[in-house]
Amino acid sequence: MKVLVLNAGSSSLKYQLLDLATGAVLIRGLCENIGMHDSAHRFDRGFGELKRSEIMNDHHDALQIVINTLLEPDRGPIKSLDEIDAVGHRVVSGGEYFTESTLIDDDVLEKIGICSELAPLHNPPALAAMHACLEMMPGKPEVAVFDTAFFQTLPPRAYVYPLPYEYYTDYKIRKYGAHGTSHRFIARHAAKMLGADVRDLRLITCHLGNGASIAAVDHGVAIDTTMGLTPLDGLMMGTRCGTIDPAVVTRIQTLLGYTPDQMNEIMNKKSGLLGVSGISSDLRTVEEAALAGNERAVLALELYAYFIKRYIGQYFAVMGGADAIVFTAGVGENSEYMRAQCLAGLEPMGIVLDARKNRIRSGERIISEDRSRVKIMVIPTNEELMIARDVEKIMDEVHQAEVTAEMVEETLV
């Protein structure tokens, strides 16, 4: 089965065409700076990345370029769009409507539109991509896979904010979480690596990239996560501040006369590693500056690790322990320094990192000492594969339902 996975951002469209029979990625690419003068298409058919400047006024234009590239005579991975069995779309917010991935129809499109107020930069371009697919590949099944769906299992005590309850009932202000597809992927994969059923494990999954979040996955079910109504909450990130005293916000606004939009910009784009170090939002650059003796870079790293450690402790407490802590994404997969920092001193909790294994560079791996009660794991995330697998599962269900309907009809005749 071949699945086209689309991930639309405000000015970008990422894609992969996967062949689930072999697990091969036939092509991966990115249309960037859509709607700007320097829009371009980068793609890789397995022989290295190519970049072409292309005029792309909107996501419709971008999808047309993707399709042209897929069908390029002699070089494209497919000869006809009929070879694509279905399309999977990453959707940032499904609000409270969607607890799992779903086949797209008019009702689903409408609800994703309503959820745009929760993800104003992401849901509208995803909708644009869905409509473009409907137009360019009519009749092709499309599936929506939601970042928030995995966290719809959170109990009210984890998702209700202790504000007047009406804000939740009237305005849906609550914790929704994000990165759900990645947490779901690494939780399942961790169970597979441990030779266990995910329903028998308590996992703390740490997605540490530019955006970063941690989840408590208790016996296969997400029961808490660090991101909230928006991705600003929780961990300190590349440019986001994460959890701070809410009164800091109004205090700074009063002191400096900032509007809500300006304050939002500061907390989302100018804080985190960048804000504290004053150097970069990129952990590698901050690590280099710290090594060279820059004190604010050292402080930024300490803070970053401290936030992770505190949440690991919280989720250890809410689950009454953990069987494994799993790291993924740019920082989680690559920074041995950060993994060591955030786990330092946790040996009394049965969390014992193996310094030698922590230095191993690539691939999925267990990096705890054998005596560690809690396994420490690194698993490269693969959200596209998770999306494609969801599409495959839904297509199987659709097929099964059709077969059953046919059998019922034959019986009636």
* Residue ranges of the binding site: 7, 14, 90, 207-211, 282-284, 330-334, 383
Give the sheet arrangement for strand 86-91, strand by strand: 49-53, 40-44, 24-32, 13-19, 2-8, 86-91, 142-146, 102-103
**What's the N-to-C CA distance of the chain in angstroms?**
33
Can you tell me whether residue 324 is helix, strand or coil? strand
CB of residue 310 vs ligand ADP: minimum separation in angstroms? 20
Can you tell me whether residue 401 is helix, strand or coil? helix
Pick between residue 141 and residue 330 the one whose CB is nearest to ligand ADP: 330
**Binding site, annotated residues for Mg(2+):** 7, 383
74 is catalytic: no
Which region, judged by CB under 6 A, interacts with ligand ADP, from 160-168, 253-261, 292-300, 328-336? 328-336
DSSP letter string over 77-138?
A: S-SSGGG--EEEEEES--TTT-SS-EE--HHHHHHHHHGGGTSTTTHHHHHHHHHHHHHHST
- Catalytic residue (choose from 74, 82, 147, 354): 147
Position 242 contacts ligand ADP (CB under 6 A): no
According to DSSP, residue 377 is labeled: E
CB of residue 335 vs ligand ADP: minimum separation in angstroms? 4
Pick between residue 39 and residue 182 the one whose CB is nearest to ligand ADP: 182
Position 94 contacts ligand ADP (CB under 6 A): no
**Binding site, annotated residues for ATP:** 14, 207-211, 282-284, 330-334
- 365-366/324-328 β-pairing: unpaired
Position 329 contacts ligand ADP (CB under 6 A): yes
List the x/- string, 272-291, binding to ligand ADP by CB under 6 A. ----------xxx-------
Position 234 contacts ligand ADP (CB under 6 A): no
CA 116 to chain CA centroid, Å, is 17
Residue nearest to ligand ADP (CB): 330
Residues annotated as part of the active site: 147
- Judged by the rule CB under 6 A, the positions of this chain that interact with ligand ADP are 209-211, 238, 282-284, 329-331, 334-335
